[in-house]
Amino acid sequence: MRVRLITHTPEPEKTIAAAASLCYSPKDIASLLEDMNDKKVQRLIDMLAKLGHESPFEHISFTFGIEGVSRSLTHQLVRHRIGSSYSQKSQRYVTEGAFEYIVPPEIKKKSEVLKLYKEAMNNQQIAYDKIVEMLKKEYYDDLLKTGKTERQAKSFAEKKAIEDARFVLPNACETKIIVTMNARALFNFFHHRCCNRAQWEIRNLADEMLNIAKKIAPTVFKYSGPNCLHGPCPEGNMTCGEIKKVREKYSG
């Protein structure tokens, strides 16, 4: 997994503090911004976080480039829709020749299971390649009959072939995605995906994104992490039972 911050709102904490202050101040925006020293910014953001007044946090956003993750992860990630935008490598337009795949840690630990897993990936690659070639030839011949030039027929046939062949690809298939979230969307993402009960891969991603965001806006994300950091575990009987360890991890 490789996660990097591509860009973010300049002076994010100052922007939030100014936006919050504007609601209760007769000053013009330029004066508000000039009046925002570090101490005042931290005090205002801390107050907003404690009160749960999250709308001012929507004014800042972070864009992450994410690689070396599975499509299983991105199927979960894109469920976070509000305040979030995604652009992902397409299996419809990009041929998955010799595709990379993600191996779960528990499978890596067991040699027999790992062997079977790799065989399954190899078989799916073989099936994908064969399906692409078979469909490509069929589509090419059909397109020539419609009056397409050889160049046009070849291009259209390849697109149609990989469009259909992708159905055989596994969730383990490696993918790349660019994600933009505003801070409020990130709060929600961290609440759900930093939780011990989240699937291991997306939990690792959430932890990495949180660590990056904290470096840019430490006061904004001071209280971020799973829901149990500042209250009881919301999972009921399905709790991980490790609330003390979790709080130690995210408060450090």
List residues with catalytic annotation.
193
Nearest one of 141, 154, 158 to 92, comparing CA atoms: 158
Tokens 């910014």 locate to 41
Q: How many CB atoms lie within 10 A of CB 228?
A: 22
